[in-house]
Amino acid sequence: MSQQDLSAKRTRKRFIAGAICPECKKLDTLMLYFENNVEQMECAHCGYHQSQSNQDVKTAAKGAEGIIGVFKPE
Ligand SMILES: [Zn+2]
């Protein structure tokens, strides 16, 4: 087993630009990551969690463009 295999399995979370948490209403606190090949959404502020299979995710993301690959170096 190589080091690369280990790091690849580590969950990678991306912030969703322009998304508002449906729970705490904070902007840019929602993160997107994969778990068992299902996209999961989680709020870094209040811990709100939602699976991508749920239609509400699209509402929360407000049709933000470029969801994938958005990094905020803060
Ligand atoms: Zn929240």
Residue 26 forms part of a structural domain: yes
Give the CATH number for residue 39.
2.20.25.190
Residue 49 forms part of a structural domain: yes
DSSP labels, 23-55: TT--BT-EEEEEETTEEEEEETTT--EEETTST
Residue 4 forms part of a structural domain: no
Residue 32 forms part of a structural domain: yes
Q: Cα angle at 65 between 55 and 42, to 5 degrees?
A: 50
Q: How far is the CA of 31 from the centre of ligand 1 (A)?
A: 10
31 beta partners = 15, 42
Q: How far is the CA of 3 from the centre of ligand 1 (A)?
A: 34
Q: Give the total number of structural domains in the chain.
A: 1
Q: So what's the pLDDT on residue 12?
A: 84
pLDDT digit string (tens) for 3-50? 555 555 567 899 999 999 999 999 999 999 998 888 899 999 999 999
Q: So what's the pLDDT on residue 30?
A: 95
Torsion of CA 50, 24, 29, 16, to 10 degrees: 50
Q: So what's the pLDDT on residue 15?
A: 93
Residue 3 forms part of a structural domain: no
Q: So what's the pLDDT on residue 36?
A: 85
Range of the domain at 29: 11-61
